[in-house]
Every structure is written in C-alpha cells, then in structure tokens.
Amino acid sequence: MKRIGMLTSGGDCQALNAAMRGVVKSLVNSKEDVEIYGFLNGYKGLIYGDFKMLTGRDFAGILTVGGTILGSSRTPFKTIKDPDENGLDKVEAMKQNYYKLRLDCIVILGGNGTHKTANLLRQEGLNIITLPKTIDNDLYGTDMTFGFQSAVDIATECIDCIHTTAASHSRVFIVEVMGHKVGYLTLNAGMAGGADIILIPEIPYDMDKIVEAIRQREANGSRFTIIAVAEGAISKEDAKLSKKEFAKKREKLSHPSVSYEVAAGIQERTGQEVRVTVPGHTQRGGSPCPYDRVFASRLGAEAGKLILEGEYGFMVGYRNREIVKVPLEDVAGKLKMLDPNATIIQEAKMLGISFGD
C-alpha cells in the first residue's frame, strides 16, 4: 500500500489538474494499492491537516479543466519558519501531519517559492517529489514548465486582437504580459503576436530607443505600433538602482505599472495616443492547451514511476526534449532568467523587433 499526499501551491495555472491526474492514473494502472490524500489550499492544508481522501474517480474528466481541484494559496517561504498567529510551528506541523497519515511521500506542484519549501521539507526528512508549474517558465532545472504554453496562447490572442483596433485608430498599443521577473512569456507571445517592440526584464530599455523605433515605423509607412511589455520590464536608469532605491522610487510613482510609465513616456515625447491593455490573470485561467495537457500528463506519469521505484527528493523536469529527474537541492532558490544573448533574441532582432536597447 502506497500512501501519497498531494498539494498545489502558489498561483494557479493551466494543467495542474492534468498533472495530478497523470500521477494518479500511472499509480492506479500499475495495480499498486494506493491511498491519495489531497491537501487543500496548498501548504496551508498540510500545516493545519486540512485534507480529503481521493480516489481515481476524483481525477476522471479533469484533463481539460483549468485551475486545481485541491485549491491553492501562497505560503511565503521567507515566513515559513515563523510561528503562525497562534504560535504554531508551521514546519513541525507539516511534519507531524505527514507522519500522522503515515505517508510514503508528498507530490508537490508549484513554482519557485513552492520548491524552496519543498526542499526544506526534504531536508527535514520527508519524501518529496515535485512537478514544475508556472506560466513564467522561470523555474531552474527544467527547460519548460506546464502552464507556460497555455499562457503564451492567451497572451498571443490578446495581441492578435489588438492589431485590428490599433490599425483602425493609428495608435500605439501596449499589451502588458505577465511573467514575474523574467521575459519568457512576453518574448514568446510578442513574437507570435507580431509585436513591433518587446520589453523584457533581462534587457533594460531606453525610452529614446523605443521612440526611435516608433518613428522609424512611421517613416516606413506603418500607421500603428504594438508593444509587448513584461510586467517586470525595467528602464536602464532604474536598472542601475539598488533594490531599496528602486522600491522607494516605485512607491512615489503615480503609474499603476511599468506599461503606464512607458505609455506616458511615449506620449510625452511623440504626442501620440497610447493605449494600454492588461490581460492580467486571464493568462493563468481557462483550459490548458493541448501541449500542456500532454506535457503535464507526461510529468505526472514520470512522478508516479518515481513513487513506485521509491526515488524521492527530485523534481520531474524537462531537458533537451526528455523528461528527467532533477535533485531538489539543485532547483530550490534559483531563478531561470532569459539570456539576453540567446539565439531567439538575436533572431527576433533580425525580424526587425526592437527591445528598446
């Protein structure tokens, strides 16, 4: 009998259900007797013993369903060792609930913060297997995370829709794309959607270069410009500031996000009308795309294999088009940034896309 805990932590995304389904189906189809304990609302469920017993039937019909049937929440790693408001030791509580249920392992689905806590639990002696989810694709140790391609599709569709209205009104349109501190999502959606300018955190922008690119398009007869801006994009001036200096500057700004700051700079220098579109959390919602359904299912199946073989302390990742197991200690606390000199950046520039640099 295998007793398996499972939880989804952090922001939700597409294909969480598909990944969990992959784990459970692979175990059930192995003919191994298994009990599944689903912890509700992320690490909170493991801390406070809030769980429900699940069977294979609970995972039927959820391959195409977005979100997570277990619910999710953010439990910041930086405060995970701090007692809760009632003085409860959260780490010790998670360990005790693990042992109370006599679990063989916990399968944890999440991104960067989630993996830090997962590695902490591994260090505390618990058997842990993780699966890489985030629309940001910024998780170290894997070339791809599930949820990313679905978010690219949604952000691309948003940029596609902007084309007609931008052309009709001869305006500059900015589409703000999610992605946290990295530019994978913005780069891919921007290229797929035919954005003229793409601003990402890894390449600090110069406002004069952005204006230059817009004016060059006008000189070439283009009546509009579409700019894909990552939520973490930063100017060259701000990139020189320390974290504290940058935080203080952001507090004083009246703009709600970097996209509006860029828009104000363009209007001030060119006098052109600029409109900002923020698709926001729609990029994390809806059904997973076919790629993510297949990808998450594969990751889940491989996680099931590791459980059956008793191999713990790994993230199931994807490298060089193959599913691999990556030691948790090699993943936790590391951010996978986009290389500014990557060939995809060079190719985008060859296509005439400006990065504001």
> Which strand ranges, in their side-by-side order, compose the sheet holding 51-54?
51-54, 34-39, 2-8, 105-110, 128-132, 314-319, 322-327
Q: How far is residue 301's CA from residue 281's CA, in Å, rounded to a whole number?
A: 28
Token readout for 181 is: 């501190």
Token readout for 234 is: 């930063």
Nearest to 116 by CA among 329, 265, 290: 329
| Given the residues 33, 50, 104, 136, the one annotated as active site | 136
**Beta strand 314-319 pairing with 322-327:** antiparallel
CA dist list (Å): 178 to 173, 232, 266, 280: 16, 8, 21, 7
Q: How far is residue 20's CA from residue 9's CA, in Å, rounded to a whole number?
A: 13
Length of the chain: 357
Known catalytic membership, residue 143: no
The gap from C-alpha 217 to its chain's centroid, in whole angstroms, comes to: 33
State residue 213 phi and psi, 5-degree precision.
Answer: -65, -40
**Beta strand 105-110 pairing with 128-132:** parallel
CA dist list (Å): 147 to 14, 151, 241, 351: 5, 6, 32, 27
Q: How far is residue 84's CA from residue 61's CA, in Å, rounded to a whole number?
A: 37
User: Annotated active-site positions, please?
Assistant: 136
